[in-house]
Structure 1
Amino acid sequence: MSATTVSFKVPSPQGPQPVTVSYTRAGSGQPLLLLHGIGHHRQAWDPVVDILAAERDVIAVDLPGFGASPGLPDGLAYDLRTTTAVFGALCETLGLDRPHVAGNSLGGLLALDLAKEQLVRSVTALSPAGFWTPAERRYAFGVLVTMRRIAERMPLPLVERLARTAAGRAALTSTIYARPSRRAPEAVVAETLALARATGFAETLRAGTSVQFTDDIPGIPVTVAWGTRDFLLMPRQGVRAKRIIPKARLVRLPGCGHCPMNDDPALVARVILDGSR
């Protein structure tokens, strides 16, 4: 699926700043915005896009500084407030009137923040960031930094050779997938490169050190779903999310890892569609 880019202005202390975002769009129906996690790219959603597009107008976005989206200009920080403003402006530019939104990891946190600002009509957050203890956050950030360093230093021919075998794909992606052998070799190569080349990685991670999601989200349907084999953000964080957002639907994703879209596409698509009905 070929990507499209769109540019728009986002307020900053130095005045409106131009932001460009890359996205793909498929299907018809009510709009559904898909937001990936840190170091990933919009192709993380590929396993579920076709299923979702049968019922929704699906817009999968590369976050600024990730995938094919260029980084933010000087004057815009990679913090939650700015990124939420970016996606609010994106929705306005694309004519998306309070879309449904689903996000994974960092994207799940962004989805919840968009809901908190009443910019969306429903939210499905898959292993969202922001419900950690300080120790859990330090552990997750340490794993992410290690993954990034390995991706940066690994020669492309080695990545391609590893991706051709199930064992190699496990070595490259078992941190985020419970069933890495299901990921296509070319997808594993592409996301390893996306992690290595993400210009927004360091600043996004730095901004995340002070993030804690503590607000209820009244009046908007919220689904929080967690893979039972998520070893990056532990499933117990879902219980905390439920305490903070008491009316949220908390869903277990059996046998799924941190990025469950690849591990069980049919289940994840059903959870998103149910949450956006």
Structure 2
Amino acid sequence: MSVPLRRSLAIGLACSALFAGVAHAAGSIRAVGVENEYANVISQIGGEYVQVRAIESNPNTDPHTFEASPAIAREMAAAQLVVRNGLGYDTWAKKILAANPSQARKVIVVQDLLGLPENTRNPHLWYKPETMPKVAAAVADALSSMMPEHRAYFAARVKRFDASLRPWYEGLAAFKKQYPNTPVAVTEPVADYMLEAAGCEIKTPWSLQAAIMNGTDPAPQDVSKQNALLGQRQVKVFLYNQQVTDSLTQSFLATAKQAKVPVVGVYETMPTGYDYQRWMMAELNALRAAVSKGTSTTVLH
């Protein structure tokens, strides 16, 4: 999900514990990944030379209800490197950075790395296979400009990171070849980029996906269409946003269960215990299990 109207910059204390009592290692670069998957990539590239903080990191909450505390604002203002998504997903972070300008701070906006216009309708860029190699390269460039003596170190870690994504890419290609044009239904466009890369045909109307993502009431005909997709088994799997399950999503889940359509819960926020590569593989494996075996995966362990 991603819409500015569902986000707020209210000042609260809910997330201040993320940064309380944290000491930064001497000589290291202070970095912030607004979304924890980006923080994870910063850490993988920067290694011992970065101290990284992830702000949106709770996979059990709706990231659209996030409230930035004063502690978070201070942490971001002090950061030397920030990576944020863009496309309206983290507008609150953009406002904090604008209110605390620094010529020494480097800010990487993933939307800009990919050359995407503001009207790009799906902001969940981390599910896009080409995203993270570009993020990793940009992070290495930024770190190298701050620590040129470690340029080779950062370059080597980018090379290792890129190689570690090959199993995911190969898995996507294999799925596309083995299960071409697999019809699927979704609630929101959380994993749409991955589904498209896997050759799936997303049958849910975009207008329904957008309404659920934006927290608005979907058109009755779209709800009827979705219920037909599930109830008449016109799709092989139903993927829903595991972090946000309202009454409409629950009704779709009930319809899918009754029709014996396997379901897969996908995440906006990287689950605890994963790095980015293993998270993407886990989501792809859940999709494969649903299509090949009819197995549902509602929670990644």
When Rg is computed on C-alpha atoms for both structures, the one with the higher figure is 2
Q: TM-score, normalised by structure 1?
A: 0.31
Q: TM-score, normalised by structure 2?
A: 0.29
Greater strand share, structure number: 1
Greater helix share, structure number: 2
Work out which structure has the larger RCO, using CA pairs closer than 8 Å and 6 or more positions apart in sequence. 1
